[in-house]
Structures are given as C-alpha cells and as structure tokens.
Amino acid sequence: MTTTAPDGRAEPTAVGDDILRVEHISKRYGAVVALIDVNLHLRRGEVLGLIGDNGAGKSTLLKILCGFQPPTTGQIFLEGQPVTLKSVDHARSLGIDAVYQDLALVNQLSVYHNMFLNREKVRWPLLSNRAMRNETRKRLNEMGIQIPSVSAEVAQLSGGQRQAIAVARSVYSNPKILLLDEPLAAMGVKEGAIILDLVRQLKTNANVSIIIIAHNYGQILEVCDRVNLIQGGKITLDKTSSETSAQELTELVVAEYRRALEERQRSA
Amino acid sequence: MSDTAERSPDLLGPPPGGHGVGGNGLLRTLRWGTGAFLRQREATVFVVALALFLYFTIDSPDFLTHPNMATLLSGDAAPYIILAIGEVLLLICGEIDLSVGFTFTMAPFLMYFLITYDGFPAVLAIIVSLIFGLFVGFVNAFLTVTLRLPSFIATLGTSFVLYGVVLTTSHGEPVDIPASAMHIGKFFGNETTSGWGWSAFIWAIALVAIFHIVLTNTRWGLHTIAVGGNLLGAREAGISVARIKYGNFMITGMLGALVGLQVAFYDNTIDPSAGGYNYMFYAVAAAVLGGTAMLGGAGTIIGGFLGAMLLSIFTDGFAIIGVSANPLFIVFGAGVLAAMIANVQLGRLREAGGRRG
C-alpha cells in the first residue's frame, strides 16, 4: 500500500490495526470537485473527529463511507480488504452504520418500539411488548442513557435523548464502525454531554470504532482521540487531540477564509 | 489513546444522572398531555355521542326502539364504521382512498352478474366480489406507490372508472338480490325474514376489535404508523414501505366490497346509487373526528368507530325528532373542522414539546 500522499500530509499508514482505510478518494459532481485525493484511516477502537466548515466536503465523505454514493476514484479498505460499498444496506451488512442526527426515529412511537423497529420481538401474531420494554430498559441502563420511561413517545424526548436513542439503536446491531453525523447539532451543552458520555461509554465497552463528523469542534474534541481537518475537499490536518486545540483548528479555518477573501478581492 | 477523554471532566456539565432532572417534571407533563390527547379525543367523541343519544332518547319515544336502533346501528353506523377502519389505516400511513365508496357500489353488482349470467354459486360469487375489492385496492396502490401519483388523485380517477363501469353494466337500474344468495344474505345482514337487525353491526364490532389489535399490537400496525410518521426513517430501518401501503390499500378495498355486499343485503336490493362519495366522506369524517391525523402517523380504530357512531346518532336522531337535515350539515361541517384544527394544533404541541424538553 502506498505510504506517501502527494502533499506529505495525512499519510495512510499501512498499520495492521486500521479497521478502515480510505486511499486517494476523489469525488466530482460534473465540474464541481467535492473531494480531492483524500486519505484517511481509522484505528480499531479509535474515535476520530472529522472536522470542517460547511461545504468543506464532510458530508460527501460521509455519503461515500456509508455506501450512499461511490467515489469517483480511490479505494476503501475495511480491515485491510478492499471493499466497494454498493449501498447503505451493503455497508451496514459489512458493519458500517451511520446515524444521522435523530432523523431515523419515528416520533409517534414509543422508545422501545423505535429501538426494535423492524426487529420486533413477536409471539406471533402479537408483539411481545414486555420483552421489548425490558430489553430496552436494560440496554439503555448499560449505556447510561437516561429517559423518563421506555414507553414514552419519542416526540416527548429532548434532542439529546433522541440522538442517544438513535445511537443506541445503531449499536444494537453490533457495527464495527459507527459514523455519527453532527451528533451535537442544535444541542445545548448539557444535552451534548449526554452524547459525549455515550461516545465514551461505547469506546470503552462496545468494541466499536467511531468517526464523528462535526463543524463545531469545541465539545467534540473532548472525546476524540484524533482529529482530521477537512478544508476545500482536502484533509489539511491530522493530529491527535492532545497535539491540537480548538484554537488551532479555529485559526486554520479562519485563515482559509481570509485567503479566499483576499483572492476574491484581488480578482475583483 | 484515550487520554483526551479524561482531559476535562468538569467541563461536561452535570454528572450522569443529573441530566434533565430539571426537565423531568415538564417532560412527564408533556408526556401525559400528548399521550392522553388521543385517549382524551376518544373520550370527548364518546361523551358527545352519549349526550346526543340520551337527548334523543328523552326527546322522542321513537328513538330507543328496536327498529330504530337496528336502523341506526346496522343500517347507518355499520357501513361507516367498517369503511372508517380502512380509511384510518390509510390515513395513518399517509394516504387516502376516495374510491372505496364505488368499490362498495360495484361489489354487489359483480356478485349479481356472476350468479345471474355466469352461473356462479352464491358463495363463490361473494368471494370473487371480495377479491375484486382487494384488486381495486391493488390498482390504487399501484398508481400511488409504484407510479407515484398522489393517492388523492389516483383514487379520484379510479372512483370515476368504477362508477362508469357500474352505470354501464347496470344501465343505471337497480336489481334484486339473486334468490340463490338469499340464504347467505342472512349471515351478512339481510333482515327480510328474521327482522333481528343486528348482524351488520356485529360484523362492524368484530372488525373493529380485530383491526384495533392489528394496529396496536402487531408488526403490521407498528410499521403502518412508522411509515406515516417518518417515511425515511421507516425505510432506513428496512421496512418495506411499498408492502405496507399496498396492504392497507387492499384491506380498504376489501372492506369497501364487504360493506357494499352488506348494504345490498340489508336494503334487499342492489342499487347503482348506493355507496359513492357520500359513504366515503362519512368514513373519512369519522376517522378525523376520532383523532386520525390527515398527515399520517397518528390515529386509532376505536377513534374511527366512535366518530362513525357520533355521525350516525346525529343524523338518525335529528331525523327521528323531525328536524330538517339541511342545516345539520352546517353543524356537521363545523364539527369536522374543529376536529381537524385540534389535530393540527396537537401536531404543533408535539413538535414544541420535543424541541423544548
């Protein structure tokens, strides 16, 4: 495998404990280039923060990683094996699961019905509601997720609680890799703490590797082992969290903005 | 590797167990509020229906009599109730069937033609007529799900087609129930020989019980709510949205055919002017009065049943005490509007509740 990226940054190190490796991924939409030669790796049990401003290419990368769309060029390796993700379902069957905020939950159904949606426990022809309630209660307790009641309608939960339920449901199918898309979006600090606690909890207990995609990195940095900054479709920084800081990341993003502004003024 | 995780625990806000303690009381209130809303809606409709029932009983000695109760329950309420079951299921998964009233009109004619012209035994003709209902539902689902027409338009189209077929094949004339079908007719609600009068209503109650359990306590019901409540989320979870919608359209079509046969047997005639939009709109109104949301995701069979009962008591009662039916439509319309407004406001309340907590 290659070990040198053209710009010398974000080298894909061919280490044996990489669960996911992405090499030279580019994505074009017609004339628009969304990703340019992206290299990224995720170690087993690691929490990687994928950080970038709006429009930097985070979402495009997420869509490629979860099987929603193929890259234009480049290769994905899962546990060292080259894979082509054909669909979201295919990616999920390989153990890559994405949680898109709380969009996957059905507000009108109870927490436990959501937890077991399409995997319901049944004593044909009826639902085994009690078994599902107990199992849900047990699961959520193990994960330290607190809600008023597992029978509560999801509509009555707070944003943080809903996000936690969505994550808990994904973890239920034992994914190897969990992609969390903006898990703290539109959440207060206290709310966000629920999710951060959950991520820590998963890291120690659930044997899952996590990529957190976020544009607001202040809080995220606390739970990440490593951070990749994505700017203009390229990964421009790859450091462990202890080597960087929210301040450094902010400065990088602002510097990029200034450069773009100057260029525009010069050409105008 | 995980050194950063412990970096600043004091920044994490309250320790686990502290989350949302302040919000717990509020959440519980909201949970009670919205969770109870549907039950409360059912209770409201029940109370209004009961009050009307008592009023008519006191006001007119002709109201609480065997013949009038039989007419009210089997003649008026039963068809509305059974059609409302189908509409509730469809409305919950985000669709509507405007054609069910014409499936109703067509089914007994089909039975008549099969017996009279093709020499089918009566039982077989009835079974084929019910399957015809399934088929209409299938076509509606094909137009809506597979060809992606809005169900409002798709079923409007099939309504006209069905009505045209009924008028063409029957030449617009009513026909008698074939003699060979009469012995089964008793089972379906024909009262000419017994005068007992309750068969159709018992059918309705049985179907309400069955579909209430289907909606609240089976995977089918859960998935129906999921499809209407969050289409993308349901699909994400691997639920076959098409299968759920096809199924509910077909159930509705079959119930429409069943009601058509029942009313034909009850009235002891097969009439091209029976059924139609009137029955369909009463069924939709019953569903809405009972708390079913037009935008999908919420509703109950019991609510539809109570809505249908309210409408039946309302129309029958005022007819009995001799008030002209014409101004009643104003009250009726206002009732449906009030129910709709309540539904929409409930939706807003839910949203707000979720965001706040």
Residues 232 through 251 of chain B touching chain A, CB cutoff 8 Å:
232-234, 236-239
Question: Mutate which of A105, A107, A197 to disrupt the B interface (most B C-beta within 10 Å)?
Answer: A107
* Tokens linked to B65: 């009599």
ipTM of the complex: 0.80
Question: What Å distances lie between residue A92 and A19, A95, A175, CA to CA?
Answer: 15, 5, 8
pLDDT of residue B39: 67
By C-alpha distance, the chain A residue nearest B14 is A190
Q: B198 vs B81, which has greater pLDDT?
A: B81
Which CATH number goes with the domain that contains B264?
1.10.3470
pLDDT of residue A12: 46
Distance between CA atoms of A102 and A105, rounded to whole angstroms?
A: 6
Task: Determine, yes or no, domain membership for B322.
Answer: yes
Q: Are A253 and A53 in contact (CB under 8 A)?
A: yes
Q: Are A162 and A154 in contact (CB under 8 A)?
A: yes
A162 vs B contacts (CB less than 8 Å): 354
Nearest to B218 among A125, A241, A242 (CB): A125
Distance between CA atoms of B106 and B263, rounded to whole angstroms?
A: 12
Q: Are B230 and A106 in contact (CB under 8 A)?
A: yes
Residues 216 through 235 of chain B touching chain A, CB cutoff 8 Å:
217-219, 222-223, 225-226, 228-230, 232-234
Judge: B8–A222 Cβ closer than 8 Å, yes or no: yes
Task: Determine, yes or no, domain membership for B27.
Answer: no
B351 vs A contacts (CB less than 8 Å): 155
Task: Determine, yes or no, domain membership for B16.
Answer: no
By C-alpha distance, the chain A residue nearest B215 is A126
* Tokens linked to B7: 């970096």
**List of domains in chain A:** 18-267 (3.40.50.300)
By C-alpha distance, the chain B residue nearest A47 is B2
Q: Is B164 on the interface with A (CB under 8 A)?
A: no
Domain count of the fold of chain B: 1
Judge: B5–A189 Cβ closer than 8 Å, yes or no: no
Task: Determine, yes or no, domain membership for B6.
Answer: no
**pLDDT > 90: what percent of chain B?**
62
B238: alpha, beta or left, given left = phi > 0 and alpha = psi -120 to 50? left
Nearest to B24 among A125, A148, A197 (CB): A148
Judge: B4–A144 Cβ closer than 8 Å, yes or no: no
**Partners of residue A32 on adjacent β-strands:** A29
Q: For B13-52, how does the pLDDT look when each residue is reduced to its tens digit (9 = 90+)?
A: 333 333 333 345 555 555 454 455 666 778 888 888 899 8
pLDDT of residue B131: 98
- Tell me how many degrees the CA angle B115-B109-B141 measures, rounded to the nearest 5: 115
CA distance to partner chain B, nearest, from residue A31 (Å): 30
Q: Is B22 on the interface with A (CB under 8 A)?
A: no
Q: B21 vs B202, which has greater pLDDT?
A: B202
Q: Is B17 on the interface with A (CB under 8 A)?
A: yes
Confirm whether pTM is higher than 0.90.
no
What 3-state class would DSSP assign to A157? coil
Q: For A193-240, how does the pLDDT look when each residue is reduced to its tens digit (9 = 90+)?
A: 888 888 888 888 778 999 999 877 777 888 899 999 998 888 888 988
Nearest to B219 among A127, A190, A222 (CB): A127
Q: For A94-134, how does the pLDDT look when each residue is reduced to its tens digit (9 = 90+)?
A: 999 988 766 789 989 999 999 999 889 999 889 999 999 99
If you write DSSP's letter for every residue of A192-219 in order, what string do you get?
HHHHHHHHHHHHHHT--EEEEEES-HHH
State mean pLDDT over B250-275. Answer: 95
Q: Are B93 and B227 in contact (CB under 8 A)?
A: yes
Nearest to B229 among A107, A127, A161 (CB): A107
Question: What Å distances lie between residue B324 and A207, B178, B257, B318, B321, CA to CA?
Answer: 73, 36, 31, 7, 9
Q: Which strand (E) or helix (H) includes residue A61?
A: helix A58-65
Q: For A4-60, how does the pLDDT look when each residue is reduced to its tens digit (9 = 90+)?
A: 444 444 444 445 688 999 999 999 988 888 999 999 999 998 999 998 888 888 888
* Pairs of residues, one from chain A and one from chain B, whose beta carbons lie less than 8 Å apart: 142
State mean pLDDT over B281-305. Answer: 91
Task: Determine, yes or no, domain membership for B155.
Answer: yes
- CB atoms < 10 A from the CB of B40, how many? 13
Nearest to B230 among A105, A203, A222 (CB): A105
Query: Chain-wide mean pLDDT for chain B?
Result: 85
CA distance to partner chain B, nearest, from residue A129 (Å): 8
The amino acid sitting at B191 is E
Q: For B211-242, how does the pLDDT look when each residue is reduced to its tens digit (9 = 90+)?
A: 999 999 999 999 999 999 999 889 888 899 99
Task: Determine, yes or no, domain membership for B278.
Answer: yes
Q: For B113-154, how does the pLDDT look when each residue is reduced to its tens digit (9 = 90+)?
A: 999 999 999 999 999 999 999 999 999 999 999 999 999 999
Q: Dihedrals φ, ψ of B258, to 5°?
A: -60, -45
pLDDT of residue A216: 72
By C-alpha distance, the chain B residue nearest A115 is B237
Q: For the sheet containing A209-214, what is the strand order?
A: A96-100, A177-181, A209-214, A47-51, A226-231, A234-240
A160 vs B contacts (CB less than 8 Å): 19
- Tell me how many degrees the CA angle A101-A107-A112 measures, rounded to the nearest 5: 90
Q: B246 vs A86, which has greater pLDDT?
A: B246
Distance between CA atoms of B150 and B141, rounded to whole angstroms?
A: 10
Task: Write the DSSP symbol of residue A80.
Answer: T
CA distance to partner chain A, nearest, from residue B236 (Å): 7
Question: Mutate which of B4, B88, B220, B350 to disrupt the A interface (most A C-beta within 10 Å)?
Answer: B4
State mean pLDDT over B142-167. Answer: 97
By C-alpha distance, the chain B residue nearest A196 is B12
pLDDT tier for residue B349 given thresholds of 50, 70 and 90: low
State mean pLDDT over B196-200. Answer: 85
The amino acid sitting at A82 is P
Q: Is B21 on the interface with A (CB under 8 A)?
A: no
Q: Is B66 on the interface with A (CB under 8 A)?
A: no
Q: A146 vs B217, which has greater pLDDT?
A: B217
Q: A182 vs B159, which has greater pLDDT?
A: B159
The amino acid sitting at B113 is F
Nearest to B226 among A109, A148, A189 (CB): A109
Q: A156 vs A178, which has greater pLDDT?
A: A178
A146 vs B contacts (CB less than 8 Å): 16-17, 19-20
pLDDT of residue B5: 35
pLDDT of residue B355: 43
Judge: A106–B233 Cβ closer than 8 Å, yes or no: yes
Range of the domain at B181: 41-54+61-341
